[in-house]
Chain A
Amino acid sequence: MELADTLRPDGDPKGGVLAHLERLETRMHRSRKKLEEPQTVQAEESALVTEIQKLRRLRDKLRAEVKRRQAGFGLLHILQVKASTANVEPDQTWEITEQEVLERKWENLKAVLQAYRFTGLSGKLTSRGVCVCISTAFEGNLLDSYFMDLIVQKPLRIHRHSVPVFIPLEELSAKYLETNIQHFLFTLCEYLNAYSGRKYQADRLQSDFAAFLAGPLQRNSLCNLLSFTYKVEPRGQSFPLCARLLYKDLTRTLPTDVTVTYQGMDALSTSWEEQRASQENLFRTKPLHHVFTSFARKGEMLDMSLVS
């Protein structure tokens, strides 16, 4: 009895031992509860958080679904879906939708169709026929492209084109367009590629090897007649030569007739005649700019031999 009294310093003897025990019990409960509370709260909290995240995900998915059904196919929408699912835990895998697969196939196909022009002959269907694209090239360099709008009717006809006026398109189409379109296209490809190649060689000569030329390069629209005066060494003492290249075969990039003469000299000694003939042979067998590249290299080798 005294114990209870001593526990209550204010001296209230209410309740006695049992009451005191009660009070101790309650106190113990409370303190235990206090220890437990954070855990349950935490557990409750985390449960709620997970619930929130789940609901958010569901909301986003539904939104995406709504948008998809409204807008149909669209790359933007796919990106939105991807963005909204980006908050997901990293280990969760989301499924690649059927639509994404189709999108990828579509992009791939478009890229293949675009790359087709590297084959030299490609086309695109138009509302009235087909638009043919001839992409020319020479020695691995992609050059100009030429187009033709064909209207598929009886008779098959060319609606418009970007083929230069000096290429005999009318002649070729009159001969082959109706009867053998494959032959027509391939022949036209030949003409255009050869023209592009000849033009490329003449342009290279004018721009890269101007130092070797003693006057302007004479040329024409088809680049099938080239006439120029040149020296084998740009700064050297060598004698100027006159070259005249005729390309009688419009489907080829090498000349059919070559005439090289020493400027102003008719009769030549044998060694000079040999040189002249070898120059002619060079132009007949190698593309124009390669011939001049070899002159330049010979010059370099000579320089190096002089130095050493």
Chain B
Amino acid sequence: MDETVAEFFKRTILKIPMAEMMTILKAWDFLSENQLQTVNFRQRKESLVQDLVLLCEKKRASLNDAAILDIVYTQFHRHQKVWDVFRMSREPGEDIDLFDMEQFKRSFKKILQRALKNVTISFRDAEENAVWIRIAWGSQYRKPNQYRPVYVVYYSQTPYAFTSSSQLRSNIPLLGQALTIASKHHQIMKMDLRSRYLDSLKAIVFKQYNQTFETHNSTTPLHERSLGLDINMDSRIIHENRIEKERVQRVTQETFGYYPQPRLEFAQYKLETKFKSDLNGGILAEREEPLRCLIKFSSPHLLEALKALAPAGIADAPLSPLLTCIPNKGMNYFKIRDK
């Protein structure tokens, strides 16, 4: 086995936490059960990794097999990457999309390899007719850098693709082109939506986050008092502003619904508006140029935090539509200019 490939194997297997080693190796499905049983998984990690690399060498594992292991690891640790969302479009009135996964893969590979001689492209099929693509970029003179790959997740016959953010920005247009052509679209644009939580991004763009519907068959009550205003609590507690509390709760439920919110970590607002002040003659009020400022809301779970603001008394209800439109519009990056 090539030295660089062996090194790549070693570093990829070293990344895997001991607790997940068996699961990930089984999901990789390259080493058989019997072969895995010959290895002692209780030894120190370094020795275990050496044994596994030897096994891979014996089985003549290729660079592609290592790349697939890398994909499996990333699938288990998708939160370690930050994901961007791209939306593709095609001219209306096109023929029916007869998506052939093999044809897509061939086409995608051909387009990239035609433009860049040195590039490693690997595919792994995933559930719901999706494919994970791993791309290691090289250049005309340099071999692909296996330690800074880009991942793309594409669900067939949808206009959306999810890519892991990469510092190597120069190759993004080429990647976009390959995706667009291979999936038989015409245009691609980057959405103002970014998060670590790939599944939440998918829920937002596929509009799968608000899925409780009223039917005659549903037995679950729609109006659950989930925000804790329990009026039947201790009778010694008196709610002085019960009416207002109930209004706030109602408005919150109307805006945020009864479903668990998709998970985002931040919302960023870039303001380029003129400063508006009630007071005449403030320093900022006389300026002609727009005030540039960046406001960022961060949270382990931004939308749940926003939902809790009004009931906690920290903000007025209803919240600003700039905050509540995030899942609907599929944006968490905003540029606000004067109209």
A-B contact count (CB 8 A): 71
Tell me if A224 and B100 are in contact (CB < 8 A).
no
Q: Which residues of A contact B207 (CB under 8 A)?
A: 160-161, 165
Q: Which residues of B contact A124 (CB under 8 A)?
A: 214-216
CB distance from A253 to the nearest CB of B (A): 15
Residues 135 to 161 of chain B near chain A (Cβ within 8 Å): 155-158, 160
Q: Which residues of A contact B211 (CB under 8 A)?
A: 162
- Evaluate whether A224 and B96 lie within 8 angstroms (CB atoms) in the complex, with A160-B207, A160-B210, A166-B158 already known: yes
Tell me if A221 and B213 are in contact (CB < 8 A).
no
Contacts beyond the supplied A164-B206, A166-B158, A222-B97: 7 A-B pairs with Cβ under 8 Å: A114-B217, A160-B207, A160-B210, A165-B206, A166-B156, A221-B129, A227-B100
List residues of B whose CB falls within 8 A of some A CB.
Answer: 92, 96-102, 128-129, 155-158, 160, 205-208, 210-211, 213-217
Residues 111 to 129 of chain A near chain B (Cβ within 8 Å): 113-114, 116-117, 122, 124, 126
Contact-residue bracket for chain A: 20 to 34
Tell me if A117 and B215 are in contact (CB < 8 A).
yes
Tell me if B213 and A225 are in contact (CB < 8 A).
no
- Evaluate whether A220 and B156 lie within 8 angstroms (CB atoms) in the complex, with A165-B206, A227-B100, A248-B96 already known: yes
Enumerate the 4 nearest inter-chain pairs by beta-carbon distance, A residue then B residue, closest first: A147-B213, A166-B157, A220-B99, A221-B157
Q: Which residues of B contact A298 (CB under 8 A)?
A: none
Tell me if A219 and B129 are in contact (CB < 8 A).
yes
Q: Which residues of B contact A122 (CB under 8 A)?
A: 216
CB distance from B64 to the nearest CB of A (A): 18
Tell me if A220 and B213 are in contact (CB < 8 A).
no
Q: Which residues of B contact A222 (CB under 8 A)?
A: 97, 99, 157
Tell me if B210 and A225 are in contact (CB < 8 A).
no
CB distance from A233 to the nearest CB of B (A): 26
Contact pattern, A 9-47, Cβ under 8 Å of B = 1, otherwise 0: 000000000000000000000000000000000000000
Q: How far is the CA of A248 from the CA of B92 in the complex (A)?
A: 17
The winner among A131, A164, A225, A250 for most chain B CB atoms within 10 A is A225
CB distance from A291 to the nearest CB of B (A): 21
